[in-house]
Structure 1
Amino acid sequence: MTSSAVQRVSECFIKPINPIHESNHICYLTTWDIAMSSMHYIQKGLLFKKPTPPNNQQNFINNLLEKLKHSLSIALFHFYPLSGHLVTHKTQDPPAYNIFVDCSNNNSGAKFIYATLNMTVSDILTPIHVPPIVESFFDLNKIVNHDGHTMPLLSIQITELLDGVFIGCSMNHHIADGTSYWNFFNTWSEIFQAEDHGVPISHQPFHNRWFPNGYGPLINLPFKHHDEFISRFEKPELRERFFHFTTESIAKLKAKANIESNTNKISSFQSLSAHVWRCVTRARGLAKDRKTSCQLAINNRPRMEPQLPEEYFGSCINTVSAEASVGELVENDLGWAAWKVHVAVVEYDDIKVRKIVKEWLECPVIFQVKRHFDPLSVAMISSPRFNMYGNEFGMGKAVAVLSGYANKCDGNVTAYEGREGGGSSDLEICLSHDAMTNLELDETFLSTVSFTNPFYVSSS
């Protein structure tokens, strides 16, 4: 691999193409949004091969950058909170502490960075474990969401490799979750590809935030200073590796889980989550009496009554958890574990969502990785259902989806759409060195993964 570092060439700020209407100058934050104050930004991005061969490399990248900036400006008009900044309003009489987004037209907008790297696509994708250089493909590393008071809420970094281009996006988790993130990315791609930029977008974001009756739009927090609820999280030393699960492999896991549980209700992702939970727990070599859990990020939108639209723009997620002792988990079969995961998911309904929101309003809790993340757990985040490889920016289909520094800890598992589609999935698993080594030797785990490179790297 070529030894190199990412070099920033230029940066600027992109504002919405048209002024934001006065009625939209304030974006209020919900309980779900505010709870993310101490988490990192979302960091995901797409790696593309350059067209082969560009007739003129400099003309190609210049044209690409200008078109990306223009289409981003249009996208920001639709996703206008991303061009704003956070504001805290405090009063002593009566006492109040409120956080919201200022979306007025005097904001700087989204940050746009152009950088270069003297490496190839193969240099990034060939190593078994994700190379550390990938973290440099993203801006705002280690920044927490509350820093959006002074930092941009969206930062785009375009990194030009020798034979490729990486489009990395750092988005404030206060105002967006994975569903919102990929809706933005899909819309940006749609605008980029449209010859007529006046054509309406296919999935207009829904900006009316949900609050329970009697609350909102401003939520009063029981704090006097942000030091009371903000902490900084440093990622521990980890090994990060992608494992590819084919459509057939996932179907076998699902069938096995349902047969062993004598049901047909366990989903593909619940089966896959339970399988990873069991394998990672074995790899950690924990005592049988220790407690472990499988935590899953869960979308509130379809669980509300009435349902919130899929285009609801905000951080609209929570976490559900299946728990067991290490002994129970490893001595019982896959179906036993998958059923526990299934129950945790199906019990999370409208009544449960509203109960959690009510309890939060009575006693607000800001999520802290060190305090609230179970170090013996497996945390399943993101979703293989998100449209990742449908995003194109004039360079064909992406060769890989990669993530940055943000919110990674031991036991973190990020789910991605498999590049070949059809229900396949790539899991990016983060573990301590010893646990990863043991997982890579686990025969049960090895029998379910494909060790061909999950990402396609053209030889041209």
Structure 2
Amino acid sequence: MRNHLSLSLSLSPSSSWVSSALRHGHRFASIEARGWFLFRFNAHISIRGAQIKSAFSRMIISIKESTMVCPAEDTPRRALWNANVDLVVPSMHTPSVYFYRPTGSADFFDAGVLKEALSRALVPFYPMAGRLKRDEDGRIEIDCNAKGVLFVEAETSSLVDDFGNFAPTLELRKLIPAVDYSGGISSYPILVLQVTYFKCGGVSLGVGMQHHVADGLSGLHFVNTWSDLARGLDIKLPPIIDRTVLRARSPPRPQFPHTEYQSPPALQVSPETTHSAPYSTTVSIFKVTREQLDTLKTQAELENGNTASYSSYEMLAGHVWRCVCRARGLADDQDSKLYIATDGRMRLSPPLPQGYFGNVIFTATPIAVAGDLQSKPVSYAAWKVRESLVRMDDDYLRSALDYLELQPDLSALVRGAHTFRCPNLGITSWVRLPIHDADFGWGRPIFMGPGGIAYEGLSFILPSPTSDGSFSVAISLQTEHMKQFEKFLHDFPGELPRKRCKLDD
């Protein structure tokens, strides 16, 4: 059962909702006053005052108003070419959520302030206000047409504290507008936003950003610029809207096999297994303290005789990979592939200019036998992570762009559920991203993280909002493996019984 509802509504120009939208002026109007309108949206983002109760939870979201915010000034009207790395990402809106504590201010998260600043931010970041389209060859590009971004104001009787540790569950996903993809890629906004006011006085900001348009760093560049404008600051770093620097060479000349774009290892099954067993998945988030990270690093140094030291991220990524293999009960001879999202901005030579706006995410993919990951010291997994990251230099990344240029269908390389599921794993690090810098004038967020994890076997590593050196691991696993994973994660040298994976179709 889906947790949202789609329907069509006919509205007349005399509708109070229409009139309210039009009073915001051309930048905020979500419709035009001409005759009758046929409006199609997901119900919980289109009906003012509607209440949608999810079958998955108790939280009720009441929509106060939905508007389309357009750039405050005229912006370039053109088609923006997408690089190959913009097109090998899922065609979806990447979800993230911010939470803020109340300040006692009478204008706390005033929607008018937010929308005014948003309209100004859309001037330099004008692709955000556009739509996707296909060129004459069918390649996806951005139609910079200034049609605007969706801004939803909502409220709930729930409390911020009801979310506990902010695990990216279906409950959290309700704080982000759902997107109706049925009308094709040109029918929906590239950016959807929802400000939800809680009974306790707190606020959440839900962000859904089309992945073909921006990666994590570019998305944060936009949100943080928006927040700066909301509190009266100037734009610190204008975006660079030019993706041609990531064109493949002519002619393309890949130098490496690029296993990152090849099929992942399949789960070994016994001969008597004839069908896939159903399974459920669970999404959880776990804190790893600075002291625990130091313990891991010290253990690794002792194991290799102080001949090598590893970063906190390398150690934690290796540790998570190792723990997932153990929790899944993988056979000793089972191959496991780790997908590590890697920012190429500073790895290219010369580095991309500061403010480059788009996707620059490449993938490091160490492969190891599960038996080695489980039986060898934890430093072995960290070494495999480092070895794959060191390889990601300018030669390798340029080769990857050329490799993609030679592929007949880039959509065939897009990763999904088949990529990360058992026995494999995906890790995306937000540790070095400025995810807590979005201060709109009422303080920094108490939490920012993914608004959902789409696939089993996908994980995120997040920095602490208090800069105490701790990390959080948000991960989706088969339910029967999650409790085992939690035990292994916080019991570094321990040994526990194994449970076998179940197959997926």
TM-score bin (small chain): 0.7 to 0.9
Q: Does 1:252 align with 2:295?
A: yes
Alignment-derived partner of residue 81 in structure 2: 28
1:186 equivalent in alignment to 2:231: no
**1:421 has 2:467 as partner:** yes
Pairing partner for 1:206 from 236, 240, 255: 240
**Residues 215/202 of structure 1: CA separation in 2 closer, same or farther (3 Å cut):** farther
CA offsets per residue over residues 14-44 of structure 1, 9 Å max, x none? 111111135xx221100001112x4422111
- Aligned in 2, Cα 1:156/1:174: closer, same or farther, shift over 3 Å? same
**Is residue 155 from structure 1 mapped to residue 192 from structure 2 by the alignment?**
yes
Corresponding residue number in structure 1 for 2:150: 111
Q: Whole-Å Cα distance in 1 between the matches of residues 98 and 282 of structure 2?
A: 21
Moved more, 111-120 or 376-385: 376-385
Secondary structure of 1:441's partner? helix
| Alignment partners' CA distance in 1, 2:461 and 2:126 | 28
Task: Give the whole-Å Cα distance in 2 for the aligned partners of 1:167 and 1:239.
Answer: 24
Structure 1 range deviating more: 372-381 or 164-173: 372-381
Q: Distance in 2 between matches of 1:254 and 1:39?
A: 38
Q: Is the counterpart of residue 50 in structure 1 residue 116 in structure 2?
A: no
Q: SS of the counterpart of 2:162?
A: helix
Answer yes or no: is the 8 Å Cα contact 1:259–1:335 preserved in 2: no
Question: Do the aligned partners of 1:390 and 1:397 also contact (CA within 8 Å) in 2?
Answer: yes
CA distance in 1, matches of 2:224, 2:400: 31
Say which is worse superposed, 358-367 or 133-142, in terms of deviation: 133-142
- 1:240 aligns with 283
Structure 1 or 2, whichever has the larger Rg, is: 2
TM-score by length of 1: 0.82
Say if 1:131 and 1:314 are closer, same or farther in 2 by CA, change over 3 A: closer
**For 1:380-395, what aligned pairs fall within 5 Å after superposition?**
380-395=427-442
> Retained in 2: the 8 A contact 1:112–1:155?
yes
Q: CA deviation at 1:156?
A: 0.7
Q: Is the 8 A contact 2:149 2:192 kept in 1?
A: yes
Q: Does 1:134 align with 2:169?
A: no
Partner of 1:40: 92
Match of residue 232 from structure 1: none
Indicate conservation of the 8 Å contact 1:254/1:272, yes or no: no
Does residue 98 of structure 1 match 2:139? Answer: yes
Cα 1:131–1:320 change in 2 (3 A) is closer
| Residue correspondences, number | 404
Q: Please name the residue that 1:4 is paired with.
A: 59
| CA spacing shift, 1:344–1:126, aligned 2, 3 Å | closer
Confirm or deny: 8 A CA contact 1:148 1:172 kept in the other structure.
no
What is the alpha-carbon distance in structure 2 between the residues aligned to residue 263 and residue 413 of structure 1? Answer: 30
| Contact 1:293–1:374, Cα closer than 8 Å, also in 2 | no
- Alignment check: 8 A CA contact 1:124 1:131 kept: no
Tell me if structure 2 keeps the 8 A contact 1:270–1:338: yes
C-alpha deviation, 1:392, in angstroms: 1.4
Question: Letter of the aligned partner of 2:465 in structure 1?
Answer: R
For residues 137-183 of structure 1, the C-alpha deviation after alignment (integer angstroms, 9 at most, x for no partner) is 11235859x95421100011111111211001100100101111111
1:356 Cα offset (Å): 1.4
Quote the Cα distance in structure 1 between the aligned partners of 2:217 and 2:184.
22
Counterpart for residue 403 of structure 1: 450
Q: Which stretch shows the higher mean deviation, 151-160 or 307-316?
A: 307-316
CA displacement at 1:404 relative to structure 2:
2.2
Tell me the amino acid that sits aligned with residue 380 of structure 1: I
After superposition, the Cα gap between the structure-2 partners of 1:89 and 1:409, relative to the gap in structure 1 and judged at 3 Å, is: same
Change (3 A) 1:207 1:283: same
Q: Write the deviation string for residues 165-222 of structure 1: whole angstroms up to 9, x where unpaired.
A: 100110010010111111112111111122x6xx3x1122111212134489xxxxxx
Tell me the secondary structure at the aligned position of residue 388 of structure 2. Answer: helix
Maintained 8 Å contact 1:40/1:142: no
Partner residue, 2:410: 365
User: Residues 292-344 of structure 1: CA distance to partner in whole angstroms, max 9, x if unpaired?
Assistant: 12221001111111111342110110211111111111000111111011000
Identify the residue that residue 164 of structure 2 maps to in structure 1.
Answer: 125
**Amino acid aligned to 1:248:** E
Distance 1:253 1:143 in 2: 44
Partner of 1:268: 312
Asked whether the 8 Å contact 1:32–1:318 carries over to 2, the reply is yes
Amino acid at match of 1:252: T
* Structure with more of its chain in helix, by fraction: 1
> Which amino acid is 1:202 matched to?
K
- C-alpha distance in 1, partners of 2:295/2:214? 34
Partner of 1:86: 132
CA contact (8 A) 1:83 1:152 kept: yes
The Cα of 1:415 is off from its aligned counterpart by 1.7
Q: Look up the SS of the partner of 1:78 in the other structure.
A: coil
Task: Provide the residue aligned with 1:455 in structure 2.
Answer: none
Give the equivalent residue in structure 1 for 2:52: none
Q: Letter of the aligned partner of 2:447 in structure 1?
A: A
2: distance between equivalents of 1:214 and 1:179?
Answer: 28
State the alpha-carbon separation in 1 of the partners of residues 181 and 280 from structure 2.
18
Question: Higher mean Cα deviation, 351-360 or 371-380?
Answer: 371-380
State the shift of 1:447 in Å. Answer: 6.0
Offset at residue 371 of structure 1 (A): 4.1
Instruction: Name the structure 1 match of 2:483.
Output: 437
SS of the aligned residue for 1:189 comes to: helix
* Contact 1:6–1:115 (Cα < 8 Å) also in 2: yes
CA contact (8 A) 2:165 2:285 kept: no
Within 2, Cα distance between the matches of 1:143 and 1:382?
28
TM-score in terms of structure 2 length = 0.75
Helix, strand or coil at the partner of 2:300: helix
1:229 aligned residue:
none
Aligned residue for 1:243, secondary structure, equals strand
Give unmatched runs, 5+ long, in structure 2.
1-56, 253-278, 494-505
Runs of 4+ in 1 over 6 A off after TM superposition: none
Corresponding residue for residue 76 of structure 1? 122
Distance 1:152 1:215 in 2: 36
Paired with 1:102 and 1:40, the residues of 2 have a C-alpha distance of 17
Kindly state the Cα deviation for residue 259 of structure 1 after the two structures are TM-superposed: 4.2
CA distance in 1, matches of 2:171, 2:251: 45
Q: Deviations over 1:355-407 (max 9, x none)?
A: 111111111432041444353122111421111222212332322223223x5
Q: RMSD in angstroms over aligned alpha carbons?
A: 2.5
Q: Deviation at 1:446? A: 4.3
Check whether the contact 2:449–2:462 (CA below 8 A) recurs between aligned residues.
no
